[in-house]
Amino acid sequence: MSRLHNCTSNRELKARMLRETEKRVTISFYKYFPITHPRQFRDDLYIRFDAVKVFGRVYIAKEGINGQISVPQSNLEAFRTALYGADPALDGIRLNVAVDDDGKSFWVLRMKVRDKVVADGIDDPTFDPSKTGKYLTAREYNEITGQPGTIVVDMRNHYEYEVGHFENAIEVPSDTFREQLPMAVDMLKEYKDSPVVMYCTGGIRCEKASAYMLHHGFKHVYHVEGGILEYVRKSREEHLPMKFIGKNFVFDERLGERISEEVIAYCHQCGAPCDMHTNCRNEGCHLLFIQCDKCAAEMDGCCSDHCRQLSLMPEEERAILRKGTDHGQIFQ
C-alpha cells in the first residue's frame, strides 16, 4: 500500500533536500471547483505527487485546491500529468513558476484537508465566489492603472505589503484575509462606482476578494490574473514597464523574491533600509520580522535581548520554557 503521510523527521528531510544536486522548480497553483470527497481526493493526489518527488504545501477543501510546491526539474512534465489528470477541472490550470528561485523552498510534502482553501470568514449563504471580477493581463493592468480614478488594492497581509507592492496600491492593514475582506469594503465604500483593481501573490485571494466586492455592490471590479507572479513573468516576457516595486513575499523558506532593485522597507531593529524577513532564532518566539545583516550578527538572529539570552540556554531548558507559548507570531 502506498504511504499517505510523511514518516521522517523534518531535520532529516531538510538535510536530504539540501544535499540534492538536481535543481528544483518552485510552483504555485490554485483552482476553485467543487470537490465532493476532499479526503479521498487528498489521498489520491498525495500518491500522485509523492511518486514524482513533490515537496510543498497543498490545501484541499470542498471549494477547491491551493498549492505551493517544488518539483525536480526532470519531473516537471510528470508533475503536470499527475496534477492535470487528478480531476477534469484541473486539466491545464495555470502554474505560477517562481520568479527568483533557488529551488530550496520546501523539503517535505504536506497535504491537508481544510474547510476552505483560503480562510475567509464568509458565512453568507447568498455569496457566490464564482461571480468574480474581470481578469487583467499584465498589459491590461498597466493600461487601466494609468487611467485617472482607478483604485489599486493589495489583498495581502501587511508584512507582505511592507517589502513590496504595486505603485500607488492601497494597503488593507491586517494579518489575515478574513479580516481584510470586510475592511476593504468599508475602506473603499466611497469608490463603489470607480474601477477597483485587486491583486495578491498568485491570484487565489484577490479572485475571491473581487467576488466579495461585487457582492457588496461595487460596480467595476478587476483582479490581476495569476497575481504578482504572473504579472512579473508576463511583464518581463513582453518587455512591459514594471509597476511592482520591491520584493514579493512568499510563504516558503525563501521568504521573498526580488522583483525590483528598490528596497522600500526598513530593519525593525535599527531602521536601516532592509527587506529581509527572518524568523526569530528563539524557537519559543519565532517572530517574523525584518532584520538587516548587521543586527542579525549582533542579535544572533533574534528579535530581542530576551530571546537572544534564551537561545543561548541548553536545549532541555529551552524546551521547558517553550511549553504553552504561541509560535509563529508576526511583527506588528
Q: Which residues are catalytic?
A: 200
Contacts of 97 (CB under 8 A, 6+ apart): 25, 26, 27, 229, 233
Region of 202 on the Ramachandran plot (φ > 0 left; ψ -120 to 50 alpha; else beta): alpha
Burial track 213-237 (b if 16+ CB lie within 10 A, e otherwise): bbbbebebbbbbbbbbbbbbbbbee
Cα atoms found within 13 Å of the Cα of residue 86, Cβ hemisphere only: 27
Sign of CA dihedral 290, 293, 298, 300: positive
For 104-146, give the secondary structure using H, E and C.
CCCCCEEEEECCCCCCCCCCCCCCCCCCCCEEECHHHHHHHHC
